Chains A and B, each alone.
Chain A
Amino acid sequence: MQRRWIAGLLVLLALTAAGCDQQEEIKIGLAINLSGRGGAAGEHIRDGALLAVEEINDQGGVLGRPLRLLVRDDQNSDAGIKKAEEALLAEQVVAVIGHSYSSNTLKAYPLVTGNDTLMITAYTATTKLSGKDDLFFRTAIDCVMYGQKTAALFRQKGVTSVAFLMDMSNPAFVLDYLAQVKKNFQGDITTVAFESRDKVDWPKLSQELLAVSPDAVMMLTESSMTGVAVQYVRNQGFSGPVIATIWTQSPELIRIGGPAAEGMSLVTFINPENRRADYLRFADTFQEKFQKPASARASRAYEMVYILAEGLRQAEKVDAYALKKALLATEFESIMGRLRFDRYGDVVRPVYEVLVRDGRFVNGGEIP
């Protein structure tokens, strides 16, 4: 009788232990600006990534292991970047998604890849990370392509002179972009630089920008700053083309810029009128979960997480180098179309002119 009790107890303990035996999580990090200047745009990135992780885990995770997304705010500052990355590396994440600005990415790059951790971003266009056989991947195109396409757009619009407004809080992107445009555009280019993290005298800045009466204004600024800037430019009576970059492709532009943003052009690889079934499903889910529309940033984050998950499934083991090998060997079908990395972890995608029309983004066609 006593033996029977003991056996029953052992069975109960074994069952309890089995119930507690969960598969080890695979950790990936997300380091973006959430609270610094332009942090509102980072919310879209975070929410897109969170949704992707939840869906993947609901489908059984990766190789039977759940994904865990660790979100860290880089506060759009050097200290914040360092703190966020160190926290993620301490958690032994296999990959870090980040950052939302090229400059921030460049700052984090040595820290992350130097610790045998893979880094991937959709928000970094600087050419300083192009053509390197390293642990850095991106689903965004680089400034070389942007430079060519922006110059082509200028020509297409008959622009001969352009005034560049440059937010030097992200110099890696801004200067690189400018240099690549200059390589491809023969017209007059004037530049006005500012630091968005400092106090900005917007009336004065806009006057300086339009002082040379340019045919067009090119804004190398993030979305909220672009929203403010475009108001002041229009307040100055400028009616010419105002062109911005993918950095601006966020609802914040429209929320802040309001009517002044109407008619703006954006040079971007994100098609705002994506009609793919999987994208529409994603957009519906996103709206339901977060009570706001899916943005370009959210969809890029969502795409990145799925790419990482598929790479991990194909990898021989869960580490940065196996993941790199798998990412390079795999062709991905994402909500934004087919994608394959080149040997340096970069991609080539079509570039569109996206217009702000009636308070929303519409596709103005691929820039030839």
Chain B
Amino acid sequence: MSRLRPLQSHIKKILLTVITLTFVVTGSFVGWRQYSVGQQEVARVLTAQIRIAQSLMPSLLLAHDRRLRAMAGDLAGRPDQEVLARVKRECLRRDPFDICYVLNPQGRIVYISREYDSYQGFNPSHMPHVKEARQVSAVFQSVFSKRSVVALKYRLNANLRLIYERDIGNILPALLHLEKGEIFDRQSLVLLTSEGVAAYHPDQNLVRTRHHLAYDMKNMQGPNSRGLYSYEYQDKRYYAVRVELQTPRGWLLYLQVPARPLMITAVKEIALQLVEMLVLLGLLTAAIQFILRRFFSQPVQDIVDALARYEPESSYPEVLQPRKSGVREFARISQAINDMARDVSLSTERFRRLVDSLDALVYVADMETYELLYINRYGIDLFGDITGKLCWQSLQSGQTGPCPFCTNHLLIDEEGRPQPTHVWPFQNTVTGEWYECRDQAIPWTDGRLVRMEIALNITESKQAQDALADEKERLAVTLRSIGDGVITTDTAGVVTMINMVAERLTGWRQTEAVGRDLHEIFHIIHAKSGEPVENPVDKVVATGQVVELVNHTVLIAKDGTPLSIADSGAPIRDKNSEIVGVVLVFRDETEKNRLQEQSIKAQKLESVGVLAGGIAHDFNNILTAIMGNISLALTDTSLAADTAKVLEDAEKASVRARNLTHQLLTFAKGGEPVKESTNIASVITDSADFVLHGSMVSCRYDIPDDLWLVEVDHGQISQVVQNLIINAKEAMPDGGEIMVSCSNVPVGSAAEPALKGDSRFVRIAIRDTGPGIPAEMLTRIFDPYFSTKEEGSGLGLAICHSIVHKHDGHIAVQSQPGQGTEFVIYLPEGKAVQKKVVEEEAATSRPARVMVMDDEEMILNLSRQMLNRLGHEVVLAHGGQEALALYQESLESGNPVDLVIMDLTIPGGMGGKEAIGELLALDPQAKVIVASGYSNDPVVANFRDYGFAAALVKPFQLEPFSRVVNKVLAAGQGEQQG
């Protein structure tokens, strides 16, 4: 809103403006009028003057024309001599510088004014001033006088022509005289020929030099309505009147006045009139101002002053004194104002009482300036009387400008029209209380739109709502965070909530699942039958009880993944114990089930192992008797060849039986390998041929002759080879080929990083031409219980891996689907085999006293026979106690036992493992060989650690038995043999 000013100031301003405009308009009009009149006067005077000049001009220019014309008329038809005589006389009366000359028929001058008689005979007839038809020529420089002239021509008679060169300088005196009567300052005449050449000009040089004056008269304009021309000459503006002469035709006569003096004169006159007018207007203004002040602005000012003093709160206020102005109309206005003031006062009071009685904050604020225009008693009690202050400063705290949550923009639309009431909850930043605010844009008393807010305190109900919401949130968080999957449904089975674990197990996100039927997201079937399981919701709703899912329930996730789950459903009841929904709680049992199955499988294997171990022990003892006796029998040289052959076959079968036993033991218990330096080639070929016998799979070998010996447990490595060959064979059910290749690997040449070091290895590669192993399975094939075969135990390759690593070796696999599979085994090189052989050969047999301890009678008998065959005396003992007693007895008798062979374990009694300690306690020099069917027993594998001199692995034959016995007897220390 523009700044308001007092009425008197307005009136003064308007009056001044009107007077000024009146002065300017009137002044302009007067000025224009004065100027116009001035110009008209100039035009009138100049026109009158130029008419005089115009009338004079022919007589001035053609001064002798009439006389010469009359003469020419008189001379027509006269002889030449008479004509010339007359011309000479008449020409004597010519003006100064005028020239007469007569041309003969040839155009030559036959007479010329005396001063120029040397031009007699000169022919000017071709010159324009002679040749042209017009009576008066253009201005030109005379050949004779060299002055500016015009030529007049007269036919004298048939032969002669008179040319009269009129010096235009001769018109000068008359025109100068005429100019002396000038009315305007520096007025002057200008005469231009039809070519624009100056024929008269105050500057005579222009005339003398025949200056083309029309060229210099720039920006020619006119004539205007007053007949005035205007142009610039030498940078000065002129006004002029112009007339065209009839004779000479086309000549222009100007009477010009410089514009500047005219303007100065006009301005002076205009200025004088304007001053007079200004004085008059000033007086008029003062008078009008006095009248307006006395009878209008002063009474109005009185009313305004009274209204300014008006207190709306006062009861029935008397605003004005009605008769003070002395003007009836103003008295009536005063009375009316007084009446209105009383009405306003009553209305205001009613409104105030009404709004102040509200139990809510009511305030009104400007929507642009945020100035508080009104606040009710409730607000004043809270914030004080903050009317006139800014709402964001007074009603809120911590605001540096209009509140960011201000709703003003919601109260009006883009075109500034009020919108429906905006209702919103808000926590006041000063009181901390919650209010339900009802904001509205309303038109204020001055017409502008303002913000009105009615704020009702809702703190208590808000706190109750928040507590409820917190509780709901806590419950939701608990449910979503619980370790088991939780799904809640309504009684119709529509999902209402699903927690995070349930999301993971079902594959459905909560946003997807809520609102869907439980069947869609919780698809459960029986693990074994694949039939759908009864919907637990239905069951719970039907029974009203907690229900458990049947065993072997499988949940089919969204992506089709089957998960074994355990589940229970329970009803959700409302406060009236009515069932309003069902909650399902379930967990993933897949891993748990898998571990259980593995545990069961391991327990089974362990049982089989124990069983195999037990059988093998007894079997070994039996085999020991068989093999021992066969070997004893074969020592009989009297045997028929056929018999010997039969016995040898039996022995071979026994050996294979022994190996099988050995494998059983290894499988059953694992255990440390009993290593010896071995040529692996025979182990490989025997094992492979054994496995492949009778199958459609052939085997090729690539084994160099200089293949190094390896330090291995013959049985365990044989088992490894057999497992690998079996796998290869089973991979090629329709037949195929297995390629076994061996090579020496020098120090540092092993391809496997795990084998770097200073050892040398023998590399064994077994490759089949089967379908290969998928890449995702390659990393798992050595895992226990991992099998791709229906009936596989999942232990074969795990045992291979275990055995090879116990040999400080390495096993790896390479396979490409469709390109077969290759297992590569690295085994450490064996040592000092040749030396041992030499030593063995060097060992000699000498009669000795040997004690054999075993619980098996047939072993004792066999051992006695074999030792006797070797020439030794035998003492038999059936257990550890007996052996110790017999040994001590032999020591005391002075016939000590030289060697003791003790079974490692004696069921129900003291075995070798327990007896060796006591025996060595009796005789630290005692030589004791441990014998056992458990070749992989730690005591057998590491017999020296237990005090034994050597170890014998049952079943044994005569030859290895004698070698070990002889060696121990021959040396202080023995060697293990089996």
Residues of A bordering B, CB below 8 Å? 34-37, 39-40, 42-43, 46-47, 50, 73, 199-203, 224, 227-228, 231-232, 235, 255-256, 258-260, 289-291
Contact = CB atoms under 8 A, between A and B. Distances in A.
Given A46-B209, A199-B118, A202-B118, A39 B146 contact: yes
Given A224-B143, A258-B123, A34 B118 contact: no
B196 interface: yes
Interface in B180-221: 195-196, 205, 208-212, 215
B123 A255 contact: no
6 contacts: A34-B209, A35-B205, A203-B120, A203-B121, A256-B127, A256-B143
Given A202-B122, A203-B118, A228-B122, A39 B141 contact: yes
Nearest to A34: B209
Given A203-B121, A260-B123, A291 B208 contact: no
Interface residues of B, number: 28
A43 B208 CA distance: 11
Nearest to A200: B118
B195 A291 contact: yes
B41 to A, nearest CB: 28
A204 B697 CA distance: 158
B196 A201 contact: no
B264 to A, nearest CB: 17
A202 B141 CA distance: 19
B575 interface: no
Interface string B111-132: 0000110111111111110000
A235 B146 contact: no
Nearest to A25: B235
Contacts of B215: 47, 50, 289-290
B146 A232 contact: no
B140 interface: yes
A259 B131 CA distance: 13
Nearest to A203: B121
B149 to A, nearest CB: 11
Contacts of A235: 121
Contacts of B209: 34-35, 39, 42-43, 46, 73
Interface of B (DSSP majority class): loop
Contacts of A73: 205, 208-209
A228 B127 contact: no
Contacts of A256: 124, 127, 143
A50 B126 CA distance: 30
Interface in B130-170: 140-141, 143, 146-148
> 6 nearest interchain CB pairs?
A258-B126, A34-B209, A40-B141, A35-B208, A201-B118, A73-B209
A36 B116 CA distance: 16
A306 B619 CA distance: 141
B42 to A, nearest CB: 25
A36 B143 contact: no
B126 A36 contact: no
Contacts of A34: 208-210
A202 B109 CA distance: 13
A199 B120 CA distance: 13
A37 B142 CA distance: 9
A232 B147 CA distance: 22
A290 B212 contact: yes
A50 B146 CA distance: 23
Given A202-B119, A228-B143, A43 B210 contact: yes
Contacts of A258: 123-127
A259 B125 CA distance: 10
B757 to A, nearest CB: 98
A366 B628 CA distance: 153
Nearest to B126: A258
Interface string B2-29: 0000000000000000000000000000
A35 B146 contact: yes
Contacts of B120: 203
A170 to B, nearest CB: 15
Contacts of B122: 202, 228, 231-232
A202 to B, nearest CB: 5
B174 to A, nearest CB: 22
Interface in B421-446: none
Contacts of B143: 224, 227-228, 256
Interface in B90-120: 115-116, 118-120
Contacts of B148: 35
B119 A228 contact: yes
